[in-house]
A and B are shown apart, each in its own frame.
Chain A
Amino acid sequence: MSSTVEGQTLRKTALNALHRSLGAKMVDFGGWDMPVEYPSSGGLMKEHLAVRTGVGLFDVSHMGDILLRGPGALEATQWISMNDASKLQEGQAHYSALLYPEGGFVDDVIVHKLGNNDYLLVINAGTREKDYGWVKKNVSRFHLHADDVGDYYTQIAIQGPKAEATLQKLTNVDLSQIKNYWFKHGTVCGLPNTMIARTGYTAEDGFEIYVPSDVATSERVWNEVMAAGKEFGAIPCGLGARNTLRLEGRMALYGHEISDTINVWEAGLDRFCKMDKGDFLGRAALEKAKAAGLTRTLVGLEAVDRGIPRDGYKVCDAAGAEIGYVTSGSYAPFLKKNISLAYVPPAHAALDHEVFVEIRGQKVKCKVVPTPFYKRAKKA
């Protein structure tokens, strides 16, 4: 893995050569050279559908991992993140976020409780250095050490209704016993003590596994998972499908639905923010923001007229006045609709309310719809 010089050397995951040998289209994603789609898989649309109906594999090794270890680990985690980590049991994870004292987002994270004094934060790729620096600074008064362990792991996401059947062939862990947002350690592809988490960013069932980041092991595991999933139509999936999958599931993307200038209430992430757990960074600002009331809120839009609202497009009211903007928008490959997430004033957030997204000078009619746009069926 090469070091990053702004705009020059892109970082590479251990699976980079494999992606290239598969003929993936590569893009710069937050300083990382990553596959956006694989024409050999049939492209973004096929990849998206594979995850909704079968199984798909993603290299998500660009995600960062911060380990907080020591007697003060829980206290530190509670201080720097908004969800209540004291509620986590060993082997459980939850969605949370790191907040600035002003109330905006440093990043969103998945907090895993590895043990009583041992927490793992999985963070975004584009914010790795920022997050680590910020965590390090803000946990310095607690008894623990904070380590950036991201480079030690190749993280592979196996996602889709056939993810369990695929991965079960390669591990001694009974995967049916791992609940959503829980994890276990076990042997995977002959590698002992491998973390298997029932997590993902696709709004589908699936697992994320963390294996050693040397090229030989990473490629071997990837190829073994692909082979195990072959009968279910497993294909490699890129960041393009990852984005449309998470959008259908209304999952936030840093720099879009959340950022340093957006707060938890606006983003509608209230249920992951535990104001009664004790003090934490950003809490006072959030209390103030709550008292002041919302000036904007995140809504789901579906295009009624022809056109695809996309990131950054303006949202207008019926009179043509600008009232907000689209944070993420795309054609939704599974729903076969043009969907988007947008910030608008609460007065425009009621279901079925009509707004207009400006697309190359044209006002395209959209209506507010319930989110998530897509919700997977509960297991029987």
Chain B
Amino acid sequence: MAYPKDFKYTKEHEWIQVTGNTATVGITSHAQESLGDIVFIELPKVGAQLAAGKSFGTVESVKAVSELYAPASGKVTAVNDTLNQTPENVNKDAHAAWMIKLELSNPGETSGLLSADDYEKYVAEEK
């Protein structure tokens, strides 16, 4: 699985794509693969304030519940509500099925996250 080079990654398996002060967040292909069939996603409301490293929602497969952790702090500006009806889209293409968009409160924060190459290595070691 190719991890987009212009994304940053967390050790909790979220991805974040930063453009200036805004960012898009989802979970990685590795995350969807280990979860299995995703059947339920709970996301915050537009306007919610997220703190980096804190839970902002959950994703559930048939077997398991998994927390979503914010890769960066900021205000939620958009939520991908279509995932309520089609959570399986995350299985189909995790890097396209975004979950939330953020207005970053501290864009510098994301510099500590993993690059695509480092994430790929991290996942390989975890296996």
Contacts and interface: CB of A to CB of B under 8 A. Distances in A.
B58 interface: yes
Interface string B44-71: 0000000000000010111101000000
A37 B65 contact: no
A45 B62 contact: yes
B33 A307 contact: no
B37 A43 contact: yes
B3 interface: no
Contacts of B37: 43-45, 333
A355 to B, nearest CB: 20
Contact of B58 (A37, A43, A360): A360
Interface string A234-253: 00000010001000000000
Contacts of B58: 360
B84 interface: yes
A366 to B, nearest CB: 15
Interface string A340-372: 000000000000000000001000000000000
A310 interface: yes
A308 interface: yes
A36 B33 CA distance: 14
Interface of A is mostly: mixed
B97 to A, nearest CB: 17
Nearest to A45: B37
Contacts of A45: 37, 62
Contacts of B61: 44
A93 B65 CA distance: 38
A308 B60 contact: yes
Contact of B36 (A43, A310, A338): A43
Interface in A8-45: 25, 36-37, 39, 43-45
B40 interface: yes
Nearest to A303: B40
A310 B64 CA distance: 9
Contact of A39 (B33, B42, B60, B63): B33
Interface string B15-40: 00000000000000000010011011
A317 B54 CA distance: 31
A346 to B, nearest CB: 30
Interface string A29-71: 0000000110100011100000000000000000000000000
Contacts of A25: 36
B40 A306 contact: yes
Nearest to A360: B58
A45 B60 CA distance: 13
B62 A331 contact: yes
Nearest to B33: A39
A39 B65 CA distance: 19
Nearest to B61: A44
B84 A306 contact: yes
B37 to A, nearest CB: 4
A310 B62 contact: no
A330 interface: yes
Contacts of B33: 39
B62 A333 contact: yes
A54 B36 CA distance: 21
Contacts of A244: 62
A24 to B, nearest CB: 12
Contact of A37 (B36, B40, B60): B36
Contacts of A36: 63
Given A44-B61, A307-B42, A310-B65, 20 more contacts: A25-B36, A36-B63, A37-B63, A44-B36, A44-B63, A45-B62, A240-B62, A240-B63, A306-B40, A306-B42, A306-B84, A308-B65, A330-B62, A330-B63, A331-B39, A331-B40, A331-B60, A333-B37, A333-B62, A360-B58
Interface of A: 25, 36-37, 39, 43-45, 240, 244, 306-308, 310, 330-331, 333, 338, 360
Give the 3 A-B CB pairs with smallest separation, nearest first: A331-B39, A45-B37, A44-B62
15 contacts: A25-B36, A36-B63, A37-B36, A43-B36, A44-B61, A240-B36, A240-B62, A306-B42, A306-B84, A308-B39, A308-B40, A330-B63, A331-B60, A333-B62, A338-B40
